[in-house]
Chain A
Amino acid sequence: MVAVPLVHIAGLVRVFGAHRVLDGVDLDVAAGEAVALLGANGAGKTTLLKIVATLLRPTRGTAQVAGHDCVRDAESARAVLGVVTHGNHIYEDLTARENLAFWARLRGQPADADMLTGALADVDLDRHATARVRTFSAGMRRRLALARLSLTTPRVLLLDEPFAGLDQRARKWLEGRLEAFKAGGGALLMATHSFGRELGLSDRLAILAGGRVALDTPRAGLDAQDVQRLYLAHAEDLS
């Protein structure tokens, strides 16, 4: 029996002016599966994630999350999505705790003190809970952005370079968090430039080039050198 994909992308096209960034992308991510999206700069990884995240409308084609169309039924799709993009989405003049409380309330959740403390402790920011984000380093800001993942229970996670700027401890925490998410039946689509340990989370690799998925292959059995070889063979040749 074929598992129903939690993320279903079919014939997705996105045009910016005269530039066709996505030109018929087809990609599925099943429950309990993680797909790493690779590609050169400008290959369309972020554009693809933004369309699935309901932040951008496709020119043509379909993107669905847990059966909800990302354009026609965006509100339902958002309810099951967790998104971490390049932007950290945090207010510099609020404290770490206030930022988390605000986002919890914005999602209609209670800003329970224990829950906020737990989320901050997860990313090792509990000692900085009452410090304004303005005083945080780039890595601390990234960790605070990721702490939001502890406040929600999405079915699909869309991550754009989630490990960028993180120290080893935070990377380890995030890896554990994402493994647990997969084990719980969540679907993970992650754009990355790294061929290192981040790919250890992935069950499949999808390489974007020329506006399409140039290669979609299981990751099992591939080491970093294999991935680099595949990347050079597909991404660079076509983009």
Chain B
Amino acid sequence: MAWKDLLIERRSKETLNALLFFSLALLFIFQFALGPDRERLAAVLPGLLWLGFILSGVLGLGRAFLVERENDCWEALLLAPGDKSAIYVGKLLGSLLLMAVVETLVLALFVVFFDVDLGPALPGLILVIALGTVGIAAVGTLFAAMTAQVRARELLFPVLLLPVLVPVLLGTVKATEALLLREPLGAVSHWLKLLAAADVVYLAVGVLTFDVILEG
């Protein structure tokens, strides 16, 4: 499933191109809105970074199951015998890889646009981003499947997703803020535990309930 999704995305580049342009536009807007005031920037940078990740993630994840709908393949997924959670895991892996590509580019652009020196904070930041991305993708893939067959899916998907992601948003923004202030990784361990726990819960719920959601 992940192989198929990534192959289709590599050829069509529909989602990747849209996400990259969207992220670029977002960074331009932030840059113009905040100006060169360093103190002001330092206070809002973690939130801006995760706003970029979340918004691009919502856009990308919202399309995760549209490829099945657009190609009239939803029924065929249902007809495949066996454990449907394998479809969830495959979709999740495809989404994770796509989000990783976009986030890497957004982070690089972020450094350039706002002249941020990540320096020693980078390994810790990568860990926070990885934990946060797994959480967003786990619950996003599930809700994308849930809303793929409904009419107002573009509206319903973020409305359902964002409230559930509050623990992830809280943990990632707080941990990123501390790491950018050069605090050691140990100082944010409670946030990392929260993110890891949220990931486990979201993944477990996704694997256990995907069958019911796909069957409608």
Contact = CB atoms under 8 A, between A and B. Distances in A.
B79 A90 contact: no
A194 interface: no
Interface in A44-90: 53-55, 74-75, 78-79, 81, 83, 85, 87-90
B79 A93 contact: no
A152 B67 CA distance: 24
B11 A89 contact: no
Q: Interface residue tally of chain B, by bracket? A: 10 to 19
Nearest to B73: A89
A85 B81 CA distance: 17
A89 B81 contact: no
A90 B78 contact: no
B80 A89 contact: no
27 contacts: A55-B79, A74-B215, A75-B81, A75-B82, A78-B80, A79-B81, A83-B79, A87-B73, A87-B75, A87-B76, A88-B72, A89-B71, A89-B72, A89-B73, A89-B75, A89-B76, A90-B73, A91-B8, A92-B71, A93-B12, A94-B4, A98-B4, A98-B7, A102-B4, A106-B77, A106-B80, A107-B80
A162 to B, nearest CB: 16
Contacts of B7: 93-94, 98
Interface size class of A (residues with CB under 8 A): 20 to 34
A233 B194 CA distance: 70
A132 B11 contact: yes
A9 B73 CA distance: 26
Contacts of A102: 4
A81 B12 CA distance: 33
Interface string B10-38: 01100000000000000000000000000
A108 interface: yes
Contact of B67 (A75, A81, A91): A91
Contacts of A75: 81-82
A171 to B, nearest CB: 23
Contacts of A92: 71
B211 to A, nearest CB: 9
A103 interface: yes
A54 B67 CA distance: 22
A85 B78 CA distance: 13
Contacts of A78: 79-81
A94 B73 contact: no
B71 A91 contact: yes
B7 to A, nearest CB: 7
A81 B78 CA distance: 12
A155 B1 CA distance: 26
A88 B82 CA distance: 21
Contact of A54 (B72, B78, B82): B78
Contacts of B72: 87-89
Interface in A154-171: none
Interface in A211-226: none
6 smallest beta-carbon distances between A and B, as pairs = A89-B76, A87-B72, A79-B81, A78-B81, A93-B8, A106-B80
Contacts of A106: 1, 76-77, 80
A107 B75 CA distance: 14
B81 A107 contact: yes
Nearest to A148: B76
A55 B81 contact: no
Contacts of B67: 91
A103 B79 CA distance: 11
A85 B75 contact: yes
Contacts of B82: 75, 107-108
